[in-house]
Amino acid sequence: MKTLFLQKIVFTDLQISNKSVSLHEKFNGRVILDKPLYLTKEIKLTSQEKNIAIEFAALHYTNPKNNKYVYMLEGFDKAWIKTDASKRIAIYSNLAPNTYIFKVKASNCDGVWSSDPAILKIVVLPAWWQQWWFRFLVIFIVISSIYFFLLS
């Protein structure tokens, strides 16, 4: 008999550059997680924190080793990535500055898939030299230099 119980999916660990990020821990001089990861809806990362791993689990305890998962990082992955209970982690390297949506769906041991994915918004901020104000400043200095060079 198939179980119609649709399990809840939670994020269990966030790693940046192979180091787990703990609650209220300062990472690169700032706190990334001010509440537990499973309650977090959004994380903001700097341009130095672009190598991440996210671990997840389905809270269905009847034969959990037979749970299946699919995950996707919208804005990075082109399709859902399939995995099983032995590898409940998604690893991403060199994330460009952007806003990403990480989604995970799970099926229980009977093959019943969750209808709503677990979602985590990930914002990778640009480095200071990639910001609009820096580009504007450089263009202003170049144009001003050319203008004063031509006048002299």
Q: What is the pLDDT of residues 10-62, one digit of tens each?
A: 999 999 999 999 999 998 889 999 999 999 999 999 988 989 999 999 887 67
Query: Closest by alpha carbon to 8, among 55, 54, 73, 56?
Result: 56
Domain edges within the chain: 9-151
Residue 137: its pLDDT value, please?
78
CA–CA separation, 88 and 57 (whole Å): 7
Report d(CA 29, CA 106) in Å as an integer: 35
Residue 77: predicted pLDDT: 96
The distance between the two most distant Cα atoms of the chain, rounded to a whole number of Å, is 88
Beta-carbon count within 10 A of 121 CB: 14
At 1 the pLDDT is 44
CATH H-level superfamily of 9-151: Immunoglobulins (2.60.40.10)
Residue type, 57: A
Output the pLDDT for position 128.
65
Q: 76-126: per-residue pLDDT in tens?
A: 999 999 999 889 999 999 999 999 999 999 988 788 888 889 999 999 998
pLDDT at 6: 57
Token pair 């998604």 is found at 90
- Give the C-alpha separation, 100 to 125, whole Å: 11
